[in-house]
Every structure is written in structure tokens, then in C-alpha cells.
Amino acid sequence: MLCAAGGQASAQSNSLAGIVRDSRGTPQAGAVVELLRPDFTVASEAFTDEHGHYRIETILPGIYEVKASGALFLPTLRENLRVIGGTKLVVNLTLNTLYEAFRWLPAKPRPADEPRDDWTWTLRLSANRPLLRLLQDGPLVVVTNGDGSAPELKARVTVRGGESGFGDGGVHNDFEMERAPDDGRAMIFRADLSQAEDPALNAMAGYEQQLAPGRTFRTVAAVETRPDVAGGPTSQGLQVIAMRTGETLDFGDSVQAEFGDETEAIHLGDSLLANYPFATVTMRRGGNFISYRVSTAPGIQQVDDLDREATVEPKLGERDGRLQLEQGVHQEVAAGRSEGALHVKVVAWHERVEHPVVSGGGNISAADWAGGNLLYDETSDLLRASGGSFTGNGLLSEVEQRVNGSTWISFDVALGDALEMNGAAPGSQSLDQMLEGMRAHETPMCGAAVRGKLAASGMQWRASYRWQNPGTLTPVNAFAAGTADPYLSFLVRQPIRYRRMIPNGVEALVDVRNLLAEGYRPFVSRDGSTLYFAEAPRSVEGGLSFTF
């Protein structure tokens, strides 16, 4: 009897009280506050009053967790709450929306005069370093760890759609998550689920390890499935599995080297296995540099390309019912100088391009479809074919200048080889004869691009125009990285800052390629096909990016 009375007295003397607010400090009336046992069962609960106050009485000694929940907020959890005899605890809790838990920060800081476009933005945890956790009873909660540690987790979700390119149609739900603990390691996961007639998937997982100062190793596994891509009457559904590795080495401040490799397995009726090595060596002295690069596929040029989503899809065509990958050997020597806000570069290259991919669309005849010379994507209504292999040389010069704070302007001029259609009369050739008759011709290319960021609105933008002979169906220097998109193109990312209706961390994005639909070449075959081919068919895409 005495023991029971003592236990009851101890429970009655323990209490918990506090205030529940939102991230702006506004008290939240009607929020639910639960006292949880170690097994996450509810020991007691209370509701906040009109001033955000709550109080829980009669708590037995033990270790608890306190969870606060409110409409339109993520539940918040305070862990390891120790209750002993005669305890009167005060725990104030802050509720965050899904969007307030995170904020946009660049993937890594770069100097103001850095010439490369930095459109790859990631979501980082806010200053209090919250972590997301799924409790046994279901809700997702924010667990606060106020130790001041550097952020480790970055994530973002994007919903986009529009008139997209080959194998990229439908409404896309993109998810990206990266974890980088402060020990020289990093892990990344990306997934793109396309909601077309048949859902498509593009996903990759990667790992990076700093082996020693100036030496980093990276490996990436990628998978892609595109059910809507067909290669003739009997070949439906594209599947790709790729394994990629790369390593970077710094020899002091003057010499940097990187090399890597991709092994790719592809299935679309037929199966194909390919391997693509690449390497680059760069020597620097002061603001001057000279580099040598060799690559064997247009997608993978350097170690930074290994985990880029756009490089997962192979440059793939078909000839006589067999899959053909665009590949070859590209060698280039580049020299230039970077001084303050001015960057100048000259590149000379020699390449052998095998099975270059030619893009197009239109009405396919039954004979051409059965001939096994086309890949067709029914979602985007676009097709691809393999042109004839060729060998070529070229020369490129590039100048980039910062004109003010964050605005850069660049100019590119090049002379090199690209495939052109032959001049046969309409209806006089079959599709196979036209593809066989394509030849490489030397053609000029010139381009200009402007990019920047508006400080007041936070808008990031890039506009470019790249011209080459409209008769060409492949780009000059297909292995080039960083040149402007074909013809008139622009990209805009605009934060939406209307706090009364829309939470922080929402961005609208618009991406348009070849806006004026230039460079299209019609083809009418004697088999009844009415087709068009273009170096880059027009695509218009927009969407919203969410932080969480």
C-alpha cells in the first residue's frame, strides 16, 4: 500500500509544459502534443490553447519523447526527455512546413569569376540541421539536432512536363538526394519517373571517396527503362544498365589528370554491350593552361559527367534491325587563358565518329518500319536513325566575358565536319538509301550565350543562339562540352516568393530548345514516308521545383 501511494505521488509531481510556435514565432492554437514512450506508444497527450500553451500532468518517471503536430506542418520531435521524481519540465517546440525544413544553396561555392554555368542547384538542410524520420505510427517528423554541424543531406523534388525530346516525354517526377558527411565521402541518388502511357524510369546511385589529398575516386550505377521506345514491329521497350568509374589526380598546383570508364548494357529486341574510356590531362601556369583530352562517346567526357542525369540515355540508333551506338575516338588539344573576368580558349580536334545519331519525326511507312532502320518514341512522336560513319577535323575558339556582377556573355566560332543529307529529288530514294548517302561536309558554326542571376528576384537565366549550316543534321564537334544549344534556346529558374499563398522554396522553371524550330530538313521516300530530320528537334518544358 505504501509503495503504491509513493508511486502515485511521484507521478503527480512530474509535469511537462511549453509553447508550440511556427518558424516565425507565431503561437499555434489547437496543436496536438503527445508524450511518447521508447516504443513510440502514446503515454499522454494535450492540445495547445489560443496562446499556443500546453501542459501535461501526472507523468511517471522514465525516458520519453515529445511530439507536436499541427495542420499543414511537419510533426516535430524532441528526443531523450528524462523524467525523474519531482520534475517540472518546460519544452517549447517549433513546427516547420515541409518547405521550411530545407533551403536552396549551391552544390559547392565557386569564385565570382568562375566561367562554368552553375544550373545544378541542390537543397540543403537549414541551419539547425533537421533530419527527417518516419515513426512507427506513420508520420514523417523533423528531428532537431542543434549541434552546429555542417549540413550533410541535400535533396530536391521537381515536377515537369511539356513537349520533350526523344525518350523524355510525359510528366516527370524527379527526385534527388545527396549525403556528404565530413569525412571525404559522398553518396548520391537520383530518380526520374516519367508518367507517360507506360511509366518510364531513369535512376542512378553513386559513391565518391577522397582517397588522398588531390585524389578522388567516383563510381556510379545507372539504370534506364523506356517502354515507349520501339525498334520495329518486334522490338519494344528500351532497357539500359551502366556502370561508371572515374578518378581525379592533382600533381601539385600545376598538373591535373582525370580518367574513367563506362560499361553499358543495352537491350531493345537486340542486345548490345559497349565500353567507353576517357582521359584528360591539364597543365596550368599562372592564368594560362593547356590540356589534352581523349574520349570515345559523346555522353561521358569527364568525371563530372558520371552522375549527370542527362548522360544516362545512350546516343542510340538502328540499322538493318541491329542497335548502333554513336561512338568513336575524339582527341583534342586546348589552350587558353583565364584572367579575372575574361576567359579565352582555342581547341583543335580530330575525331572518328561511328554511327552518328540523326533525329527526326513524321509519318513512317510500313516498309520503312519493317526495315529496321528507325527507333521510334510514341510519347514524343520522334524518331532516331544511324547515319554513316565519318572522320573529321575542326577548330574552335571561345571567348567569355563577365559584363557585370553575375552576368556573363560568351561567343563561339568553329569550323568542322557534320553530316548532311544528299540532294536527291523527293520520292526518288528509300529511307535506307538516304541514310547511306549522307556525307560529312566541312561547315562553320557560331554561337552566342548570355547568362546571369537577378539579385532582386533570385531569377537565374540563360539564353543562347547557335547557328550552323541548316542542311547539317549532326552538330559540329559532337563531342564538345559546354557549347550553346542549337539555334534559339533559353532556360529560366524563378523562385516564387508569395508567402501568403505559397511556402518558401518553390521555383518555377522553363527550358526551351530550338524555339523557332530551325534546321528542319524534309524527306519524302518512295515508300510513302513523309519525314523530317533536324540536328535538334524543338522541345518546350516547364515545371515546379519543391524544397523539402
pLDDT tens-digit map of 16-49: 999 998 877 888 888 999 999 888 888 999 999 9
Query: How many whole angstroms separate alpha carbon 168 and alpha carbon 207?
Result: 26
Q: What spatial distance separates the first Cα and last Cα of the chain, rounded to whole Å?
A: 54
Q: Which range among 198-207, 249-258, 311-320 has the greatest average pLDDT? A: 249-258
Per-domain residue ranges of the chain: 1-122+133-148, 152-546
Q: 40-54, 331-345, 366-380, 438-452: lowest mean pLDDT where?
A: 366-380
pLDDT in tens, 511-543: 999 999 898 989 888 877 889 998 888 888 888
pLDDT in tens, 69-105: 887 777 888 888 888 877 788 899 888 765 554 433 3
Between β-strands 539-546 and 506-513, what pairing exists: parallel, antiparallel or unpaired?
antiparallel
pLDDT over threshold 90, residue 335: yes
Fold category of 152-546 in CATH: Porin (2.40.160)
- Work out the percent of the chain whose per-residue pLDDT is above 70: 83
User: For the chain, what is the total number of helices (H) and then of strands (E)?
Assistant: 3, 37
Fold category of 1-122+133-148 in CATH: Immunoglobulin-like (2.60.40)
Taking CA atoms, 522 is separated from 307, 317, 376, 442, 445, in Å, by 36, 19, 17, 21, 22
Using alpha carbons only, give the angle 195, 201, 206 rounded to the nearest 5 degrees.
140
Taking CA atoms, 432 is separated from 371, 495, 525, in Å, by 8, 49, 9
Task: For residues 134-145, give the mean pLDDT.
Answer: 56
135 band by pLDDT with thresholds 50, 70 and 90: low
Q: Which range among 62-71, 93-102, 302-311, 539-548 has the greatest average pLDDT? A: 62-71
Query: How many whole angstroms separate alpha carbon 307 and alpha carbon 294?
Result: 19
Contact present, 186 and 180 (Cβ < 8 Å) = yes
Query: How many whole angstroms separate alpha carbon 530 and alpha carbon 534?
Result: 14
SS3 (DSSP) at 235? coil
Q: What is the pLDDT at residue 120?
A: 32
Query: How many whole angstroms separate alpha carbon 342 and alpha carbon 227?
Result: 46
pLDDT in tens, 174-219: 877 777 666 667 888 888 888 766 778 888 888 888 888 788 899 9
pLDDT over threshold 50, residue 7: no
pLDDT in tens, 147-159: 434 345 667 788 8
Q: What is the pLDDT at residue 154?
A: 66
Q: What is the pLDDT at residue 292?
A: 96
**HEC per residue, 16-56:** EEEEEEECCCCECCCCEEEEECCCCCEEEEEECCCCCEEEE
Q: Which of 245 and 545 is assigned the larger pLDDT? A: 245
pLDDT in tens, 100-133: 544 333 333 334 443 333 333 333 333 334 455 5
Query: How many whole angstroms separate alpha carbon 233 and alpha carbon 269?
Result: 10
pLDDT over threshold 80, residue 481: no
pTM for this model (two decimals): 0.69
Average pLDDT, the chain: 81
Query: How many whole angstroms separate alpha carbon 78 and alpha carbon 451?
Result: 45
pLDDT over threshold 90, residue 334: yes
Q: Which range among 229-238, 277-286, 456-465 has the greatest average pLDDT? A: 277-286
Task: Collect all residues with Cβ–Cβ distance below 8 Å to 321 and sequence separation of at least 6.
Answer: 231, 232, 235, 269, 270, 371, 372
Contact present, 516 and 487 (Cβ < 8 Å) = yes
Between β-strands 200-212 and 53-57, what pairing exists: parallel, antiparallel or unpaired?
unpaired
Closest C-alpha to 369, from 321, 316, 428, 322 = 321
Q: What is the pLDDT at residue 142?
A: 61
Within 10 A of 382 (CB to CB), how many other CB atoms are there?
23
